[in-house]
Chains A and B, each alone.
Chain A
Amino acid sequence: MTVPQVVDPAVSQAKFDREVAAYRELEATYRKRGWLLLDAKFPEVLVAFAATKLRPAPIVAAVVVDFTDYDLQPPSVRFVNPFTRDKLLASNVQFQMYRRPPMPGVPPEAIAVLMQQGGIQLMVQANRPDDHPFLCLPGVREYHDNAAHTGDSWLLHRGSGEGSLAFILEKIWTYGVTPLTGYQVQLQMQNIALGMALQGIPE
């Protein structure tokens, strides 16, 4: 649902322009990280994320950051198809942002156990598989609008640095993209035939 602009559009537009200009100043650096700014027209910014550690490097996520009513409201973040810009349903998003409790020096095996036991926090949330997933993080509109976070008003965070374009993109990259280091391929063999060399067939 599109929320009507309440703040003077000139104010939100000026703050939007400032955010985009700051991004443009460091765009070459961000591109090296795999951030691709595909479109920026008030009130929305479309950014795709490529996982640069993988070969070939896939686009693993794309988000539309909506600055409507910024910064009386924090930006809204939605996961979209990077080519069509269509909002994705939770069942179609093959992307997650993981966050574990601080445990310096913990071995990978312990992290795997923690993950199995649900001790790893998932920052991309959805109410239902057929609902749009959202980024559940302070500084993001969907977090502050969520009924579970009514006690954590955006106005307590506004001006602290959270909710800026750089902050949101950096968190998606840190928790969702940088942990990706390789492809996982699963093969399921239905039929197994024995192979032979044709020249090996006796006369």
Chain B
Amino acid sequence: MSESGNKSVEQLEREAEFLKKEIENVDEVIHSEEKIKHDLEKREHEVEEEARREREKHDHDHDHHVRITMVVNGQPVVIEAEEKEKLAEVRRRALHETQNLAQPPENWEIKDEAGTVLDPEKHVGEYHFGKEVTLFLSLKAGAAG
């Protein structure tokens, strides 16, 4: 004889219905927990990806520093510049460090060793200097003759 031998058909059907609803509730909980797990896994992946990008960015910035010996009117000064920096900014820093402030920065031409004039609006990286380079800040000649 079964355990439910004393219960009526209606009671058994209500119990079955109740258990069915309980099972559905458990399924919902399981589904919800799985969704939470999925979201957490997704977030974990995003955080890991962000950490990787930050690490690469840091390494990239570190590797792309250029040591520029800027000769300001014959006086050398070393500027640690980043490749993404404009030459105009490097010029401003070099003039500030050597206290050559009597003339506006635009009056100083940036030249390489061969005397070629470089564009101050270009970024350091665009000239592919390598790790180290010597540049010259040459004051433009005044009105002559």
Residues of A within 8 Å of B, CB-based: how many? Answer: 33
> Are B113 and A137 in contact, CB atoms less than 8 angstroms apart?
no
| 8 Å CB contact of B76 from A26, A32, A159, A160 | A26
> Are B144 and A99 in contact, CB atoms less than 8 angstroms apart?
yes
> Are A136 and B71 in contact, CB atoms less than 8 angstroms apart?
no
Q: Does A41 contact B (CB under 8 A)?
A: no
Q: Does B142 contact A (CB under 8 A)?
A: yes
Interfacial chain A residues near B100, Cβ < 8 Å:
161
Question: Interface size for chain B: under 10, 10 to 19, 20 to 34, or 35 or more residues?
Answer: 20 to 34
Q: Does A16 contact B (CB under 8 A)?
A: no
> Are A138 and B144 in contact, CB atoms less than 8 angstroms apart?
yes
A200 to B118, CA, bound (A): 62
**Smallest CB gap from A52: residue in B:** B114
> Are A171 and B73 in contact, CB atoms less than 8 angstroms apart?
no
A23 to B74, CA, bound (A): 7
The verdict on A164 contacting B73 (CB below 8 Å), with A32-B113, A33-B113, A178-B115 known, is: yes
> What per-residue 1/0 map shows which CB atoms of B69-109 lie under 8 Å from chain A?
00111111000000000000000000000001011000000
Interfacial chain A residues near B102, Cβ < 8 Å:
159-161
- Helix, strand, loop or mixed for chain A's interface? mixed
A160 to B95, CA, bound (A): 12
Q: Does A44 contact B (CB under 8 A)?
A: no
The verdict on A138 contacting B74 (CB below 8 Å), with A160-B103, A161-B102 known, is: no
> Which residue numbers of B lie inside 8 Å of A, CB to CB?
71-76, 100, 102-103, 113-115, 134, 136, 138-139, 141-145
New contact pairs (14) apart from A137-B142, A160-B139, A174-B141, CB-CB < 8 Å: A25-B76, A32-B113, A99-B141, A122-B145, A136-B144, A138-B144, A161-B73, A161-B139, A164-B74, A165-B74, A167-B138, A167-B139, A170-B136, A170-B138
> Which residue numbers of A lie inside 8 Å of B, CB to CB?
19, 22-23, 25-26, 29, 32-33, 99, 121-123, 125, 136-139, 143, 157, 159-162, 164-167, 170-171, 173-175, 178
A-B contact pairs, 26 of them (CB 8 A): A19-B74, A22-B75, A26-B71, A26-B74, A29-B113, A29-B134, A32-B113, A33-B113, A99-B144, A99-B145, A123-B141, A137-B141, A137-B142, A137-B144, A138-B143, A139-B142, A159-B102, A160-B102, A161-B139, A162-B139, A164-B74, A166-B71, A166-B73, A167-B139, A170-B136, A174-B138
